[in-house]
Structure 1
């Protein structure tokens, strides 16, 4: 997993690239702490650079959702494409998150 954190207005944007898999669990936990430390009202996860995600990656997104909710933040998934989009659709993540294409 490669990542970059930026801001858009009051939202914190987590740009993910390459892949999101079980081996990224520890790094993802550290990233979540950084993302949520400023208590943003919205966290946008930008998938435009992410090419692969497995079921463990889905679990990591659920962890993000739980921690963000506890911090009072909404999570939006943005620009999933290809296999990542298919995985999110298969898992019905559109019922748990706002999914947008911008």
Structure 2
């Protein structure tokens, strides 16, 4: 599961590809910890290349959202495929997280 991190303007964009599951979530968490070390206030997860997310991946996303919120930051997600978006909806997370169609919409909502 490759993770790509870039900063554009004041938004940290984390691009996730492949699967975010029990096997890959620890690597994702380590990458997120290094991103949070710089105390960003706006983080965007680009899930354009994300094929699947399990409960372990959902926990990682929620943990990130809580850490950001505790520090006054915000999180948005974009580019989620039909299956991945459906998993967020089935878990009820679409009501707790900012999920957008594309990067432009997500940036505007941060």
Give the TM-score of the pair, scaled to structure 1: 0.91
Q: Secondary structure at the match of 1:30?
A: helix
Please name the residue that 2:100 is paired with: 100
CA RMSD in angstroms, aligned pairs only: 1.2
Please name the residue that 1:4 is paired with: 4
Query: Could you list the runs of 4 or more consecutive aligned residues of structure 1 that deviate by over 2 angstroms after TM superposition?
Result: none
Q: Which runs of 5+ in 1 are unaligned?
A: none
- Is the contact between residue 21 and residue 56 of structure 1 (CA under 8 Å) also seen in structure 2? yes
1:29 aligns with 2:29: yes
- Is the contact between residue 3 and residue 28 of structure 2 (CA under 8 Å) also seen in structure 1? no
By how many angstroms is 1:8 displaced? 2.0
Q: Which runs of 5+ in 2 are unaligned?
A: 103-110
Please name the residue that 2:39 is paired with: 39
By how many angstroms is 1:11 displaced? 0.7
Find the aligned partners of 2:48 and 2:84 in 1 and give their Cα distance.
10
Instruction: Give the paired residue count.
Output: 102
Q: Secondary structure at the match of 2:84?
A: helix
Find the aligned partners of 2:72 and 2:21 in 1 and give their Cα distance.
26
Please name the residue that 2:53 is paired with: 53
Q: Secondary structure at the match of 1:66?
A: helix
Cα deviation, 1:30-73, whole Å, max 9, x if unaligned, reads 11112212222110001000001111111111111122122321
By how many angstroms is 1:93 displaced? 1.3
By how many angstroms is 1:92 displaced? 1.8
